[in-house]
Structure 1
Amino acid sequence: MPGLPAAAGGGAVPIAVLTAAVLHATWNALAHTIKDKLVGFALIGVAFTAVAAVAVCFTPLPAPAAWPFIAASTALQTAYQALLLQTYRLGDFGQLYPIARGTSPLLVAVASTTVLGRPLSGGGVLGVLVICLGLAGLALADGLPGRAQLPSLAAAVGTGVMIASYTVVDGIGVRHAGTVSGYLAWLYLCQGPVLPLAALALRGRALVAQARPFLLRGLTGGTLSLLAYGLVVWAQSRGDLATIAALRETSIVIAAAIGALVFHEPLGRRRIGASATVLAGIAVLELAHA
């Protein structure tokens, strides 16, 4: 992907985003299985750094106008990872993943309309709202959270705010870069070392021994995360930010299935109904942009 295309990618864009959703739910599930969250996210950062260090040797250098966006996205994605780490420390995957991811598409739609001046069509607005309704149903399927859950909910909502923020930043930045692959490579080379270095500062030499049992899962999760977001940024270079943000959050439906099948969390009628609502919203979005 050496450069930005002049035209939209047609059916390739939703396919890429839905593939990214599967990969994203999978790497988050892998991260959740690592008991020591700091070690898990440090390994993900190692994977980012290793892949990006190779990629920058074979990809074009982003245009100068893209570097402020790369710097801003590096800060936002580092904050996102720190908040996501805290989210998974405090609560259940099946409840907090939908809240973290479900906050994003609505915020991106608002930003796309108010900040970027790219209003959605009536059908697009309806599709985003239906998807958000389904996501809210998934998040609240087990009832309203109690006071003890407020810290985990705050971390999850903060994670969603960071997701929306870096989505908008990267959606603009990649269009200034002149190269999707170069933008991604340098973004992850800047971002990747932050959490591993923080973990090393906190744990010292003990970190290596602590990381060894989780090495495969952590590095696999990091690689899947790179692939997932690479597909999203490629799609952002060709399509509408709000629509892509909504489509990528279908990972919540996949996460609900993983929660039931892998973590033995209850699915139930409410989760099934909410999942169907998300899928209906996707259909509305696709029809609006057909």
Structure 2
Amino acid sequence: MGEQAETALYLVLGAAFLHAFWNALIKGSTDSTLVLGLISLAHAIVGAVMIFLFLPPMVESWPFIAASTFIHFFYYIFLLRSYRFGDLSHVYPISRGIAPVLVTLGAQIFAGETLPVIGWVGIGLVSLGVVMPSLKSGLGSVHPNALISALATGVFIASYTVIDGMGVRASSSPLGYIGWLFFLEIIVAGFVFHRRRFQLRLRSRTIWSVGLVGGLASAGAYGLAIYAKSIAPLGAVSAVRESSVVIAALIGIIWFQERPWKIRIISAVIVASGILVLSKVI
């Protein structure tokens, strides 16, 4: 593995840990909508700093920034719906499990990016390992609203992943691209705070702290992932990022006391095998 490929792998694994962490914060909060608004506010603050520090992206990348911002709005809506009706260990595997295959197909169609057969094998292993806990328990046991919302979330994840992968490559300034993408989440924060304007003073400091910490973790997670997309294949980055499901499963078992646990261990081994395979093509 070359130095650049090794860097991309470590970036995405770091993003996976942070992503699982902030999803667990949303699931465990008493007001998920407000926490999501605070996460978006933290994104906007980080983005404002990055805009000040780094060169702006090229004009060719702005349509991608606009499209990604629009899709992220619906991603957040369906993410909240899926956690409202389903467990972290059910919803997270479904939404994250279908994304790598969709991203790889999207990258091939829209970005002209192809993977060798071994790359598809790695992506297949990761996707299988990610969705396995939900398949084992039976999709029939998942609330219909949670299942539909999780599947929709996965489609939106794949959409913005491909869009941002193409956009960051056209930007000539990956950090500037990330900065503007984060800053525009002020729109999501404004929408949530407007909806919650009569309850804001009633919420505890803990909620605010959780939201802002989650926002910093989320910004770190997606920032690392976007940067990795500028130096590695989109499908492979997406698949390796889904190692976050292993972390989320452990959080679900330990923090939320979700069961069963054995299938999650098997799932983790399969995901790790897929990541090992993908490390050969990143």
Structure 2 length as normaliser, TM-score? Answer: 0.95
- The list of structure 1 runs, each at least 4 consecutive aligned residues, that deviate by more than 3 angstroms after superposition, is none
Q: Which amino acid aligns with 1:246?
A: A
Deviates more, 1:192-201 or 1:166-175: 192-201
* CA pair 255-186 structure 1, distance change in 2 beyond 3 A: same
Partner of 1:125: 120
1:272 correspondence with 2:271: no
Partner of 1:221: 214
RMSD: 1.6
Partner of 1:164: 158
Equivalenced residues, count = 281
Q: Which amino acid aligns with 2:246?
A: V
Partner of 2:69: 74
* CA pair 211-189 structure 1, distance change in 2 beyond 3 A: farther
Deviates more, 1:264-273 or 1:103-112: 264-273
Corresponding residue SS for 2:5: coil
Per-residue CA deviation, residues 23-59 of structure 1 (Å, 9 max, x unaligned), is 1001111111112111111111111122212221111
CA contact (8 A) 2:65 2:181 kept: yes
Corresponding residue SS for 1:145: helix
Corresponding residue SS for 1:113: helix
**Unaligned regions of 5+ residues in structure 1, if any?**
1-6
Deviates more, 1:245-254 or 1:114-123: 114-123
Partner of 1:237: 230
Corresponding residue SS for 1:56: helix
CA contact (8 A) 1:61 1:183 kept: yes
1:15 correspondence with 2:15: no
CA contact (8 A) 2:78 2:150 kept: yes
C-alpha deviation, 1:288, in angstroms: 4.1
CA contact (8 A) 1:95 1:140 kept: no
Per-residue CA deviation, residues 128-179 of structure 1 (Å, 9 max, x unaligned), is 1111111221222322324x71111111111111110000000000011111
C-alpha deviation, 1:87, in angstroms: 1.2
C-alpha deviation, 1:281, in angstroms: 1.0
C-alpha deviation, 1:8, in angstroms: 7.5
Partner of 1:139: 134
Partner of 2:278: 285
Partner of 2:46: 51
Q: Which amino acid aligns with 2:112?
A: G
Partner of 1:197: 190
CA contact (8 A) 1:52 1:188 kept: yes
1:180 correspondence with 2:174: yes
Deviates more, 1:205-214 or 1:128-137: 205-214
CA contact (8 A) 2:34 2:193 kept: no
Please, which of 9, 24, 33 is the counterpart of residue 28 of structure 2? 33
Partner of 1:3: none
Please, which of 250, 253, 273 is the counterpart of residue 260 of structure 1? 253
Corresponding residue SS for 1:223: helix
Partner of 1:4: none
Please, which of 179, 200, 203 is the counterpart of residue 207 of structure 1? 200
Corresponding residue SS for 2:52: coil
Overall identity of the aligned pairs, in %: 37
Q: Which amino acid aligns with 1:262?
A: W
Distance (Å, rounded) in 2 between the aligned partners of 1:285 and 1:196:
36
Distance (Å, rounded) in 2 between the aligned partners of 1:14 and 1:77:
24
C-alpha deviation, 1:71, in angstroms: 0.3
C-alpha deviation, 1:82, in angstroms: 1.3
Distance (Å, rounded) in 2 between the aligned partners of 1:229 and 1:212:
26
Per-residue CA deviation, residues 219-250 of structure 1 (Å, 9 max, x unaligned), is 00000000011111110000100100100000
1:150 correspondence with 2:141: no
